[in-house]
Amino acid sequence: MSACLSCGACCASFRVSFYWAETTEVILEGVPQELTDAIAPFYNCMKGTNHKQPRCIALQGTVGETVSCSIYAQRSSTCREFDMLDEFGQINQACTQARAKYYLLPITQI
Protein backbone atom coordinates (compact mmCIF):
# COMPACT_ATOMS: atom_id res chain seq x y z
CA MET A 1 0.00 0.00 0.00
CA SER A 2 1.25 3.48 -0.84
CA ALA A 3 2.21 5.70 2.08
CA CYS A 4 -0.04 8.33 0.49
CA LEU A 5 -3.15 6.26 1.25
CA SER A 6 -2.46 6.54 4.97
CA CYS A 7 -1.32 10.17 4.84
CA GLY A 8 -3.13 12.86 2.83
CA ALA A 9 -1.19 15.63 4.55
CA CYS A 10 -0.36 17.35 1.25
CA CYS A 11 -4.09 17.68 0.49
CA ALA A 12 -4.60 19.43 3.82
CA SER A 13 -1.51 21.64 3.85
CA PHE A 14 -1.17 23.55 0.59
CA ARG A 15 -3.23 25.59 -1.86
CA VAL A 16 -3.86 23.39 -4.89
CA SER A 17 -3.85 25.86 -7.77
CA PHE A 18 -3.73 25.09 -11.48
CA TYR A 19 -4.51 26.51 -14.92
CA TRP A 20 -8.26 27.06 -15.26
CA ALA A 21 -8.43 25.14 -18.56
CA GLU A 22 -7.93 21.88 -16.62
CA THR A 23 -11.54 22.11 -15.39
CA THR A 24 -14.70 20.61 -16.83
CA GLU A 25 -15.53 24.11 -18.05
CA VAL A 26 -13.06 23.32 -20.87
CA ILE A 27 -12.49 19.54 -20.96
CA LEU A 28 -15.03 16.84 -20.15
CA GLU A 29 -12.60 14.71 -18.09
CA GLY A 30 -11.16 17.70 -16.23
CA VAL A 31 -11.31 18.77 -12.61
CA PRO A 32 -15.00 19.29 -11.76
CA GLN A 33 -15.55 23.05 -12.07
CA GLU A 34 -17.94 23.09 -9.09
CA LEU A 35 -15.11 21.89 -6.82
CA THR A 36 -12.88 24.85 -7.68
CA ASP A 37 -12.62 28.56 -6.93
CA ALA A 38 -11.20 31.17 -9.30
CA ILE A 39 -8.14 32.83 -7.75
CA ALA A 40 -6.75 34.80 -10.71
CA PRO A 41 -7.78 35.43 -14.32
CA PHE A 42 -6.27 32.14 -15.50
CA TYR A 43 -5.98 30.10 -12.30
CA ASN A 44 -8.34 28.12 -10.14
CA CYS A 45 -7.73 26.24 -6.93
CA MET A 46 -9.48 23.35 -5.27
CA LYS A 47 -12.17 24.54 -2.87
CA GLY A 48 -10.97 24.45 0.69
CA THR A 49 -7.29 24.92 -0.16
CA ASN A 50 -7.21 28.72 -0.29
CA HIS A 51 -7.68 29.06 3.47
CA LYS A 52 -5.37 29.59 6.42
CA GLN A 53 -5.91 25.93 7.32
CA PRO A 54 -6.36 24.29 3.90
CA ARG A 55 -8.13 21.02 3.22
CA CYS A 56 -9.06 19.99 -0.29
CA ILE A 57 -12.76 19.40 -0.81
CA ALA A 58 -11.92 16.16 -2.67
CA LEU A 59 -9.97 14.67 0.24
CA GLN A 60 -11.90 11.90 1.96
CA GLY A 61 -10.94 10.29 5.24
CA THR A 62 -8.71 11.24 8.14
CA VAL A 63 -5.22 12.64 7.54
CA GLY A 64 -2.62 10.26 8.91
CA GLU A 65 -4.99 7.29 8.95
CA THR A 66 -6.81 6.37 5.73
CA VAL A 67 -7.48 8.82 2.91
CA SER A 68 -8.51 8.92 -0.72
CA CYS A 69 -9.29 11.47 -3.40
CA SER A 70 -12.90 11.58 -4.59
CA ILE A 71 -11.75 12.83 -8.03
CA TYR A 72 -8.48 10.91 -8.35
CA ALA A 73 -8.91 10.19 -12.07
CA GLN A 74 -9.79 13.86 -12.70
CA ARG A 75 -7.24 15.48 -10.36
CA SER A 76 -5.26 18.49 -11.51
CA SER A 77 -1.73 18.52 -12.87
CA THR A 78 -0.60 19.99 -9.55
CA CYS A 79 -1.79 16.86 -7.76
CA ARG A 80 -0.49 14.52 -10.46
CA GLU A 81 2.98 16.06 -10.20
CA PHE A 82 3.23 16.06 -6.39
CA ASP A 83 5.06 13.00 -5.11
CA MET A 84 6.97 11.76 -2.08
CA LEU A 85 10.09 12.12 -4.21
CA ASP A 86 11.30 15.31 -5.86
CA GLU A 87 12.56 15.64 -9.43
CA PHE A 88 16.00 14.36 -8.30
CA GLY A 89 14.65 11.18 -6.68
CA GLN A 90 15.18 12.56 -3.18
CA ILE A 91 12.55 12.78 -0.45
CA ASN A 92 10.29 15.73 -1.30
CA GLN A 93 10.73 18.37 1.40
CA ALA A 94 7.21 19.68 0.80
CA CYS A 95 5.93 16.19 1.65
CA THR A 96 8.05 16.15 4.80
CA GLN A 97 6.75 19.62 5.76
CA ALA A 98 3.11 18.59 5.26
CA ARG A 99 3.57 15.38 7.23
CA ALA A 100 5.19 17.29 10.12
CA LYS A 101 2.14 19.57 10.32
CA TYR A 102 0.12 16.48 11.26
CA TYR A 103 2.82 14.98 13.51
CA LEU A 104 3.59 12.23 11.00
CA LEU A 105 7.10 10.89 10.64
CA PRO A 106 8.92 11.83 7.44
CA ILE A 107 9.23 9.33 4.63
CA THR A 108 12.74 7.91 4.84
CA GLN A 109 12.69 5.12 2.25
CA ILE A 110 10.71 4.39 -0.87
Written in H, E and C, the secondary structure of the chain is CCHHHHCCHHHHCCCCEEEHHHECCCCCCCECHHHEEEEECCEEEECCCCCCCCCCCCEEEECCCEEEECCHHHCCHHHHHCCCECCCCCECHHHHHHHHHCCCCCCCCC
Residue 89 or 31, more confident? 31
The pLDDT of residue 3: 83
Query: pLDDT digit string (tens) for 35-83?
Result: 999 999 999 999 999 999 999 999 999 999 999 999 999 999 999 999 9
The pLDDT of residue 2: 78
Average pLDDT estimate for 4-26: 95
